[in-house]
Amino acid sequence: MVRGSLVKPIGLDQTMCISWVWLYRNTEPEQRFVMSNLDLGGKYLARMGKRRWRIEAFFKTVKGRFGLERFAQHSKQGVMRWWCLSGMAFLLCHLQNLDLPEREADRWPDWGELARTVRFSFVPEVRRQALQLELNALDAFQHALFAPST
């Protein structure tokens, strides 16, 4: 099969144009397949698919590494909140990344590590208070558990 081949997947009544891209993010390249119901040609479909995988990787990173999958995205306000917080989290991590020493040009930064560094450097008191509240709740639970019953 060559890029841009028209195939008819089992269970679909429509022919699809298929192509693939190679992503070089890790030590070994990953092959990803792209399909379209329009006959766009193999090279164009691969180029568009490569852009799409980068966008998907960005959203996966933003939702997974920054904990933004917990926000309600069922309303317009939820979506706007998600966009604002995602952009702010990405900007803070990007600024933190600019302060780090140079690394290989084609290697992505570890966004989880950057997010942790930003959280510890910009808002350590918030994290400290959250941990203190959790410790207080554990102490109250233990005191209630071991309190002599009357």
41's CB contacts (< 8 A; 6+ apart) are: 4, 17
SS3 content of the chain, % helix, strand, coil (to 5): 55, 10, 30
> What residues of the chain score a pLDDT lower than 70?
25, 62, 65-73, 103-106, 149-150
Residue 73: what pLDDT? 63
Neighbour order of strands in the sheet with 16-23 = 5-7, 16-23, 30-36
Q: Round the average pLDDT of the chain to a whole number and report it.
A: 78
Residue 137: what pLDDT? 94
Residue 139: what pLDDT? 92
CA dist 77 and 97 (Å) reads 30
Per-domain residue ranges of the chain? 1-58, 66-145
Q: 109-117: long-range contacts at Cβ-Cβ below 8 A with a sequence spacing of 24 or more?
A: 111/61, 111/65, 111/66, 112/65, 115/65, 115/66, 115/89
Residue 2: what pLDDT? 76
Residue 104: what pLDDT? 64
Residue 135: what pLDDT? 95
Q: What is the pLDDT of residues 90-133, one digit of tens each?
A: 888 888 888 777 766 667 777 778 888 887 787 778 778 889 99
CA dist 97 and 78 (Å) reads 28
Residue 140: what pLDDT? 92
